[in-house]
Structure 1
């Protein structure tokens, strides 16, 4: 199957990828985010690796340039930009910072990233890296550890180890009886927490990281696999310890990061149960979900913005699009092995 990329190019202009769409129509009113353009860089590199077409290489340059523009003088990243190309803040969230490190690490480790782009991204990375030691939030730490895990240097390995240690401490502090998680709520982008420990184990060989990752992933799996399909925790209330789990909305980013996490677990352990779970998570996009409705729009190649109580959210924003494409391409890599 050749992927339909119409929506990617409609959502991308001379600046980068727009944040939102109104149905299938790109919506300039909400401008851009570095969050989205960082992950779009990963997507573009995967597309270029698979298909080798210049149009995807052009996207690599576009999204990399966005990250260059997003970095502030301190080395951190601004996140929200208006359609007029004016930044709306001096510094973005730690989640945004971590996602930038993830994207840059991915790009610098890849054989298909142009040399000149690598040189520029390495400068961005070197300026940002010192801040990774001072992060406070779980997901910012987790994304950063994943990005740092692409590097062989002692400094990056020490940082990965330190971040993973802090995540394990959080895990030990919050786990209680049957509740085996890093905090007292299962909220958004949950898979990234065990995923980061898996990558830390790969880099450091510290067995505690693998054991904690697998235990947390097993707990998350019990929550998110219902009746043979993947059902991520709903964003309207999440799942607080001792409370009922929110059913909706289900977000496309959850399926993508679950795919990446389970495939990492499969590659590290060889346990086929993780490969099977990755396949089920990827099938969420094609209709193997709680509503039995495909999330991918066959006309544009876009991905709907989630499952709601009433059906699909018919908008097709950047995060949904990039999540679907990355998930599809990652699964196609596994199938080709």
Structure 2
């Protein structure tokens, strides 16, 4: 990572209409027939709220994502995830990942956006969502990220603090083999969020044991997913102890989640492993990966959907593009801090 890579929102904007961001693309062309999802719109709210000087187009995306999440939310705080191209919801509200990611997006907007009305609207939706809890570890982990964001600007916000305390009570220690330092028998998806959530909850609650547990988990994950000096993440199907490596289909979400966690760890821990991990995540997108191929299109700013053993899936879906944007945002801040 020798140059300052600036996040470009061109492709994300091209994937978006007045209802939301289309989930899928055929190469760079949106596929409206597959509709929209709350998971993606929550991630849109995260990356756009992080922009320090958002353009008018990015400001529009912030408001659009916030409106989408408001429409997705049920009165009891659950979330619907699927909307078709006509704007009709096709599923029922749940507390699965879309719930946790929505809380993450709302917390990020509440903490970081300076746009008129965004913080108040985000907090109102956030409070409604936190009526619920999820039995799913990743949903609770994403929600913990949002709660920690809120506490950075509203340290007395008791609803957010209770969510973090509830999360801390469910965050188990790694089990099993000494060389498998992970709380699940297999790595699954967006793995680093489990470490990042422990880190933020430990810091916010003044819980040093939980904080150190999260840092140890993240350090193990970086080492486990590094091969030959480059990042070799677990594939979409997951990976267990003894599974062959490298494995494919590798997904951008796994890389961006690792970048998120490394950036978070570096906020309170000066060890070089976190900047090294973040640089490796950027390198994976630039082609420092198992097949030596770039995972994004500089002409569009879109991220590619998957890395296979002998090819790249060059479709530029919303999740992959948002993963790229998020990773480049962290890298940009790292390089600006180092200057």
Alignment TM-score, normalising by the size of structure 1: 0.93
2:284 maps to: 284
Aligned counterparts of 1:83 and 1:301: Cα–Cα separation in 2: 24
Aligned counterparts of 1:24 and 1:35: Cα–Cα separation in 2: 20
1:14 maps to: 18
Tell me by how many angstroms 1:7 deviates: 1.0
Tell me by how many angstroms 1:211 deviates: 2.0
**Secondary structure class of the residue paired with 2:130:** helix
Paired residues of 1:31 and 1:83 also in contact (CA < 8 A): yes
The Cα offsets for residues 253-273 of structure 1, whole Å up to 9 and x where unpaired, read as 111111111121122111112
Paired residues of 2:73 and 2:80 also in contact (CA < 8 A): yes
Residues 58-137 of structure 1 correspond to what in structure 2 (within 5 A)?
58-92=60-94, 94-110=96-112, 112-132=113-133, 135-137=134-136
Paired residues of 1:234 and 1:245 also in contact (CA < 8 A): no
2:204 maps to: 203
The Cα offsets for residues 81-101 of structure 1, whole Å up to 9 and x where unpaired, read as 111110011114511111001
Paired residues of 2:263 and 2:274 also in contact (CA < 8 A): yes
Q: Using a 3 Å threshold, how does the CA distance of structure 1 residues 137 and 73 change in structure 2: closer, same or farther?
A: same
Aligned counterparts of 2:319 and 2:333: Cα–Cα separation in 1: 21
2:264 maps to: 264
Tell me by how many angstroms 1:241 deviates: 3.9
Paired residues of 1:249 and 1:306 also in contact (CA < 8 A): yes
Residues 1-337 of structure 1 correspond to what in structure 2 (within 5 A)?
2-47=6-51, 49-50=52-53, 52-92=54-94, 94-110=96-112, 112-132=113-133, 135-150=134-149, 151=151, 152=155, 153-167=157-171, 169=172, 171-172=173-174, 174-235=175-236, 237-244=237-244, 247-337=247-337
**Secondary structure class of the residue paired with 1:131:** coil
Tell me by how many angstroms 1:218 deviates: 2.7
Aligned counterparts of 1:244 and 1:312: Cα–Cα separation in 2: 20
Aligned counterparts of 1:159 and 1:9: Cα–Cα separation in 2: 33
Aligned counterparts of 1:269 and 1:175: Cα–Cα separation in 2: 27
Aligned counterparts of 2:292 and 2:244: Cα–Cα separation in 1: 23
Aligned length: 328
Aligned counterparts of 1:241 and 1:257: Cα–Cα separation in 2: 21
Alignment RMSD (CA, Å): 1.6
**Secondary structure class of the residue paired with 1:269:** coil
Q: Which segments of 5 or more consecutive residues in structure 2 lack a partner in the other structure?
A: none
Tell me by how many angstroms 1:283 deviates: 1.4
Aligned counterparts of 1:268 and 1:288: Cα–Cα separation in 2: 28
Q: Using a 3 Å threshold, how does the CA distance of structure 1 residues 263 and 175 change in structure 2: closer, same or farther?
A: farther
